[in-house]
Structures are given as structure tokens and as C-alpha cells.
Amino acid sequence: MRRRVLLLVAAATTLVLVAFLVPLALLVKNVAADRAVQRATVEAQALTSLVATTDRDALADSVREVDASSPYEVSVFLDGDVLGARAARSPLVTLAEHGFSRSGDVPGGQEIVFSVDRPGAAPAVIRTFVSDTALAAGVPRAWLLLGGLGIALLLVSLLVADRLARTFVRSTVNLAAVSHRLGRGELTARADTAAPGELGVVATALNGLAARIAEALREERETIADLSHRVRTPLTSLRMEADALGDPADAARIATGVEAVNRAVTEVIQQARRRGTPAVADAAEVVADRVAFWAVLAEDTERDMTVDVAPGPLPVGLARADLEACVDALLGNVFAHTPNGTAFRVALATLADGAALTVEDGGPGLPDGDVVRRGVSGTGSSGLGLDIVRRAAERTGGSVALDRSGLGGLRVVVQLLAPR
């Protein structure tokens, strides 16, 4: 944007300067030529009285003196002789001998002739020759000054345009940076409302939107916290009733279920509180922990589990609990939708900008590729598992890909990007 503004100002200023300086340069040239011709005419006319009244010898001395002191060639054609500067008899001189005074362009300059009547004799002719150099005297210097003035004006206009462009570009970049920070969850980011023109209006609107989002998230956190408090009251009652059961096995079983529900509620609260703040987790550590957890169930169901986890740390832009939920959803689908004894493989590879989690199995696969949509399932389940995976990947800026596994079943590749 800054470069385009500078190019636009440079083009406009150049056109204005050309439209102004070219006619002015031509005018300077014409004025210089007119001035030289006028001066030569005055000098020639000064000899008119001498030619008409002075004798030949005195006139010759006067003409030689004027020619020597003048920047122009001065000659007098008198009775077939040429006094002063040597000059050929041109058509204008011949015309002046017949009583006509004229001026005109000749090769190398301009010629001015005056016819002088003499009593009882043929007219004499005063000739002045102004060379092209004399006609253009001072013009190159004037053109150089005009060119310097034009360049100076162009530089000043570019300097002013650059200052203005910097202001606009800085404000635009600031708006973009604030929007990116808001997209990453930094809800405290605010744009500079002092930006010029419409950019200030956009900054004000963006700040209002950020404040509204922050307020909506605050209200959501309050609502979830209130809901969790209401749920924990009957959970506490259930735990007390479980402790009062006579059968220790039933008491332990019910207490375990209550504790699981309590942990889920706690995680919902923590997740709501984390929303709007940057998150990071070590993918290598989390995947290794969850694989170790599911390994016990894999052994019980006689599943051959292959694990290939790259050494950490492998930071990704996701909270640990969200990453654990993502891994659990993938492994839970393997156990839920493949028969006992089905082999599966878990791999975590390092990428240049994050990590790639791959889970593949030797089961029947998926009926179609549309099951990543929330609530869609081809096996009668809730359809939320792969949607949890998809949302977790997209939260880091990554993606999810489904295809046929080398083991014969489904392969899910989750790309998790590192925090920015």
C-alpha cells in the first residue's frame, strides 16, 4: 500500500511538473532570444546617424569599435564595401539596399538589417548577426535551475506522501495484528482508535466487538460455573449415599462413577475459564500418557497395539485437557467400533510447524467420509468423537484427514500446529 501511494504521488507530481516546467522552459528560451535580438537591434540603430552623416574613414573606425565591443557581429555595407565584421551579401542585405529593413533566421543564428538613406547616394545597410549561442545565452543555466526545482518539488511531495502512507499503513497493520490476536484468543487486544479517517472508525468497531466477545465469554463462564455448582450438590449427596451402602463393592462402584462425573464437571469449568487465553501442551507427553492408559484395555481385549511416539517436547497450541480428549476420542473409537483382537497403531511425528498424530486400525473402516460433522455417525453412536478431534485440530490451525489404513481399516491423521 505504501509503495502504491508513493507511485501514485510520483506519477501525479511528475505530470504536474511537466505541464508547468516545459512551457516555462520554452518561455525562458524565447525571452532570451528576444532579449538578444532587441539588444542587437539597439546597437545597430545607434549607428544609423553615423552612417548618414559621418565620412567614410570615421565611419569605418566607429563600426570597427562597435563590432569589437559587441557580442554580435556588426557590419555596414556602404557603396559595395563592407565595414566592420566581414560578412557575405545575403538576400536580406540585398533587400535592405532597396530600402527595406528586415530580420530573419539564417544558418547559425539570426540576421538583422537596416536600410539607411543617404542624401545623394545609394542607401547603406547596417547588418547585425546574432549567433545561436548568443540567442540561447543563459538558457542552459535557467533550464538547470528549473530542473533542480522540479526534482526538489518531486522529492518534497514524495516525502510528504511517505509520511502519510506510513500513517495509513501503520494503522492498517495495527488493525490486522489486533484482529489476529483476537483470533488467537487474546481478548485484551485493542486497536488504536486515533487512526486517521475511516481506519479509526474500524478500530472503534473492532474494539467494541472484542469487548462484546469478552463480555459474552464472561457470562458463559458464569453460567457454567453456576450450573456446575448446582450439579455438585446432588453429586455430594450421591457420594454420601454410596458411602452408606453396606456392600463395599457397590459403594466403590458408585463412588467411582460419581467421581468421574465430578471430574467431568470440573474439566468443563476449567475449559470455560481457559477460553480466551493462549494454550500450549506437549503432544509427546500427552500422547504417551494416554497410550499407556489405553494399553491396559488393549491387553484385556487382545489387541495388538503399535506405538511410535517421537521424542518431545512437541508443543502444540492446545490445552492439555483438550489434547487428552482428542487422543481419547480417537482411541475410544477404535475400541468402540472394531471387534476385539483388532490391531491398531498410534504414531506421533514431528512437523516443521507442529506435530502429526496418526491412529489407524484393521477394522471395517467408516461407511462414508462425512462422519467428521458433529452429530453424524455411521455406527449408531453420538457422532461427537471425530467432531471433538476436528475442533481440537482446527483450534491449533491444523486439520483432520481420513483415509484407508494400511492395516485395512480407518486411518485418521490429525495435524496439530505449534502455538504462534
Hey, which CATH number is domain 281-417, 3.30.565.10, 3.40.50.2000, 3.40.309.10, 3.40.50.300? 3.30.565.10
Q: State the alpha helices, DSSP H only, in 47-138.
A: 48-53, 56-69, 91-96, 132-135
Q: What is the pLDDT of residues 347-401, one digit of tens each?
A: 999 998 899 999 999 888 765 544 444 444 444 444 456 888 898 898 888 999 9
Backbone angles phi, psi at 307, to 5 degrees: -120, 130
Q: How far apart are the first and last CA of the chain?
A: 26
pTM: 0.46
188: which DSSP letter? T
| 366 close to 410: Cβ distance less than 8 angstroms | yes
> Residues, the chain, total?
420
* Domain residue spans of the chain: 2-139, 198-274, 281-417
- Give the distance, in angstroms, between the CA of residue 153 and the centroid of all CA atoms in the same chain: 27
400-412, pLDDT tens digit by residue? 999 888 888 899 9
Q: Which three cell numbers stand for residue 240?
A: 454420601
- β-sheet bridge partners, residue 414: 357, 400
Out of 6-20, 151-165, 221-235, least confident range? 221-235
- Which is more confidently placed, 132 or 371? 132
| Rounded Cα gap, residues 413 and 416, in angstroms | 10
pLDDT at 308: 92
> CATH second-level architecture of 2-139?
2-Layer Sandwich (3.30)
